[in-house]
Amino acid sequence: MYKHVIFDLDGTLLNTIDDLADTGNHVCTLHGWPTHTVDAFKLMVGNGIPKLVERFAPQGTSQEMLDQAYQEFMDWYGVHKEDKTAPYAGMPEVAKALREAGVSIAVLSNKADVMAGPVVEHYYPGIFPVVQGALPGLPTKPDPTLLYKLMERLGATQEDTLFVGDSNVDIRTAKNGGLTGCGVLWGFRSREELEAAGADVIVSTPQELQDLILKP
């Protein structure tokens, strides 16, 4: 049994893709840029909002315009981030079961720290005592800087910690931090991507994840 489990947020605990896509396409429409499908946004997310804006904006867009688009994104998403977002079926029950079993659970997200905590608390009230989002001036996943910061807060070691996420960013984060990396298949990315990134284990359902974590 793992003593500590660190979860990715978007695509792992919460299905946020529709609200992210709607917001991105809102910004595109404001500027007369081409819009994108939800499936396209699934491949754009994972490295934080600034990188997402860079990816959905037309190639060659100036930094000044990207900065403006980022602010427009944040303003709109701040109001509409809960329009369609919801926890993945079964994940709230798994999180509660882990807490009841004495497992220390936390969230590490590339979503801005000021936004990550409230979002987690809204959908998983009282479940995750520690949430670490992106901080200004510090590198985001897959760089392990914020992972180490979070592990220090938890008192976690590499040997007793599992990292759970849905993308190659998460698996690379686990590897960069010296952790076992578990990929989940209900999120935004494919089994092929997770395998190529070197996932130590891949699970298809929340119940399978719970069994993996709690097995003796």
Give the pLDDT confidence score for residue 10 in this predicted structure: 97
Q: Which residues of 101-123 are buried (b: 16+ CB within 10 A; e: fewer)?
A: eebbbbbbbbbbeebbbebbeeb
Using one digit for the tens of pLDDT, what is the confidence trace for 137-181? 999 999 999 999 999 999 999 999 999 999 999 999 999 999 999
What the chain holds in terms of domains, given with CATH numbers, is 4-15+86-214 (3.40.50.1000), 17-80 (1.10.150)
Give the pLDDT confidence score for residue 1 in this predicted structure: 84
Cα dihedral value 187, 191, 197, 201, nearest 10? 90
Percent of the chain with pLDDT over 70: 100
* Predicted model pTM: 0.94
Give the pLDDT confidence score for residue 216 in this predicted structure: 82
Backbone torsion region of residue 11, taken as left when φ is above 0, otherwise alpha when ψ lies between -120 and 50, otherwise beta: left
Using one digit for the tens of pLDDT, what is the confidence trace for 45-76? 999 999 999 999 999 999 999 999 999 999 99
